[in-house]
C-alpha cells in the first residue's frame, strides 16, 4: 500500500475559512485508491509567502523526505503556493526524494509510476502557477488603483469615527464568553456553545482575561 501525506492550506485564520473540506475530500480520494494517510498538515497563511516563512509547509516537506512518503495530496495547486518560483521549488524538493504530488482538481500526479517527472503535469503546473501569479498581481493593482482614486476624490480609509466598540460594550456583548473563559472552558468549546468564531473568543480572551 502506498503512503501519503495531506497538506491543506487557507489564506486566512478568520471564521469563514478552514481546511476541513480539503482534508475530507482528499481522505475520500485516498480511501478510493487504497492509499494510507500517514500524516496531515494544515496551515493558515498566505500562499504568497516564501517557503521559509511557512513553517508547516516546511515541516510537511521535511516529513515527506525523511519518512519515505510516496505521495503528497493537495486539493489544488494554489495550496502549495501562489508564486511560480515557490511552487516549483517545493516540487523540486519533493521530486528529489521521489515523492509524487497529486493535485485533486486536476486529477494529475507530478511523477509517473516509474518515478520520472510527468511532462504533461510539469507543463500544466508551470502554466497554472504563472497564471495564478499574474492574477494575484492584477488583483493587487486593481485594489491599489481603487484606493488611489477613492483618496483622490476626498475619501478617507480606515474605520469611521465611533465605529470601534468600547471595552464596556464588548464586555456587555460578550459577558457569557468571558464568564465561560474564567470557568476554564476551552476556546473551541466556547465558540460552539456561543455560536461564534474561534478567533473572536481568542480576541476576547487576550483582551479581558489576564494570564
Instruction: Read off the pLDDT of residues 4-44 as tens digits, 9 standing for 90 and up.
Output: 999 999 876 554 467 889 999 999 999 999 999 999 999 98
Average pLDDT over residues 52-69: 92
Query: How are strands ordered across the β-sheet holding 100-103?
Result: 35-44, 2-10, 71-74, 100-103, 108-109
Give the CATH number of domain 2-131.
Answer: 3.40.50.1390
pLDDT, averaged across the chain: 84
Percent of the chain whose pLDDT exceeds 90? 36
Q: Backbone dihedral region of 115: left (phi > 0), alpha (psi from -120 to 50 degrees) or beta?
A: left
**Choice between 12 and 128, residue whose per-residue pLDDT is larger:** 128
Contact, 121 vs 108, CB < 8 A?
yes
Average pLDDT over residues 192-206: 84
What pLDDT is stored for residue 12 in this prediction? 65
Q: Which sequence spans correspond to the domains of the chain?
A: 2-131, 167-209
Q: pTM of the prediction?
A: 0.64
Read off the C-alpha cell for 71. Answer: 505521495
Phi and psi at residue 19, to the nearest 5°: -95, 0
Tens digits of per-residue pLDDT, 35-46?
999 999 999 887
Amino acid at each position: 500500500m502506498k503512503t501519503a501525506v495531506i497538506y491543506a492550506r487557507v489564506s486566512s485564520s478568520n471564521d469563514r475559512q478552514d481546511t476541513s473540506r480539503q482534508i475530507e475530500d482528499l481522505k475520500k480520494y485516498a480511501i478510493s485508491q487504497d492509499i494510507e494517510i500517514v500524516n496531515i498538515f494544515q496551515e493558515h497563511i498566505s500562499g504568497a509567502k516564501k517557503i521559509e516563512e511557512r513553517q508547516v509547509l516546511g515541516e510537511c516537506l521535511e516529513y515527506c523526505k525523511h519518512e519515505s512518503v510516496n505521495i503528497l495530496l493537495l486539493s489544488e495547486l494554489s495550496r502549495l503556493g501562489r508564486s511560480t518560483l515557490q511552487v516549483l521549488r517545493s516540487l523540486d524538493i519533493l521530486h528529489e526524494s521521489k515523492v509524487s504530488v497529486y493535485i485533486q482538481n486536476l486529477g494529475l500526479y507530478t511523477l509517473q509510476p516509474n518515478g520520472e517527472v510527468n511532462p504533461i503535469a510539469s507543463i500544466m503546473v508551470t502554466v497554472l502557477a504563472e497564471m495564478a501569479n499574474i492574477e494575484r498581481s492584477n488583483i493587487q493593482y486593481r485594489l491599489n488603483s481603487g484606493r488611489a482614486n477613492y483618496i483622490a476624490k476626498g475619501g478617507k480609509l480606515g474605520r469611521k469615527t465611533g465605529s470601534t466598540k468600547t471595552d464596556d460594550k464588548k464586555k456587555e456583548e460578550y459577558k457569557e464568553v468571558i464568564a465561560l473563559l474564567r470557568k476554564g472552558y476551552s476556546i473551541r468549546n466556547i465558540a460552539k456553545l456561543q455560536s461564534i468564531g474561534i478567533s473572536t473568543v481568542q480576541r476576547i480572551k487576550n483582551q479581558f482575561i489576564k494570564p
